Copies of this chain bind each other. A is one copy, B any other.
């Protein structure tokens, strides 16, 4: 029912803000014909400014063959904006009644084979799709700011979304140059923001208690976990740091430390089931790779990151 995701050449980006503008810039840079739907003609200059800023970075990242800002069309009529389009990225204001009205109209205008992805960060698709007559193809495709730079897109459907639409979105975003994450459940904050939010709340507690200043927080993150986290997420960082024993050693040896007050967030009970999920998950990511090879790759990537940032700062 859904088209081959690699056959998509035309997409619509809805919204004139930094997210809508960022998405439009990203799709243009990946070589798509892009229709931008703005609510009002007066939004055009600000929208173009976002695009121009993004284009500088996108050019340095490398444009797809044939990519051009000339392939952008800006319209303020929704029917015109959706005519003949093959995918829609919706970044309308974060108000439920606005989104619901929009999905009702889009649901009637667009053929049901066209998937609609929402950039919403605070609403669920189950709420958004309630008035839509064709909710099966509506999914959340939540970017990480700035959307034209950071690859992550978190994908999840609502109660009435078809699993095929979620799978299609994952395949499409990957083809479109993104790093898709197919979520298991609709949860507040998705995955990345939820993790970041736990960290942010701990940071606020530390500042409130005079344990650190905002400067301390940022020095710690930029010079500590961040360069490594570009190369390895927190799970594989612990897995590889524990050598041949991997995540099993980490949990069996340091599990008791989860009871220590090393953060204000209490850890879950380290059940056998949780232990096994972590261990099996890390082993699956590692696959056939030896931990020493992964450590060496981590080393190369951290060096590349540190050198790149230093060179960028030195101009």
* Interface membership of chain A positions 176-210, coded 1 if the CB is closer than 8 angstroms to chain B and 0 otherwise: 00010101110111111111111111111111101
A181 touches B216 (CB 8 A): yes
Report the copy number of this chain in the oligomer: 2
B149 touches A195 (CB 8 A): no
Kindly list chain B residues whose C-beta atoms are within 8 Å of the C-beta of A188.
260-262
Residue A8 at the chain B interface, CB threshold 8 Å = no
A202 touches B208 (CB 8 A): no
A193 touches B230 (CB 8 A): no
Q: Which among A33-41, A64-72, A79-87, A264-272 touches the partner chain?
A: A264-272
A306 and B271 CA atoms in complex are apart in Å by 37
Kindly list chain B residues whose C-beta atoms are within 8 Å of the C-beta of A299.
53, 56-57, 146, 149
A305 and B225 CA atoms in complex are apart in Å by 15
A233 and B212 CA atoms in complex are apart in Å by 13
A-B contact pairs, 12 of them (CB 8 A): A57-B303, A61-B306, A151-B306, A185-B210, A191-B217, A195-B203, A202-B265, A203-B234, A213-B277, A214-B233, A218-B236, A221-B229
Which A residues fall within an 8 A CB radius of B?
53, 56-57, 60-62, 122, 144-146, 149-152, 154, 179, 181, 183-185, 187-208, 210-236, 238, 241, 247, 257-258, 260-271, 273-274, 277-278, 281-282, 284-285, 295-296, 299-309, 311-313
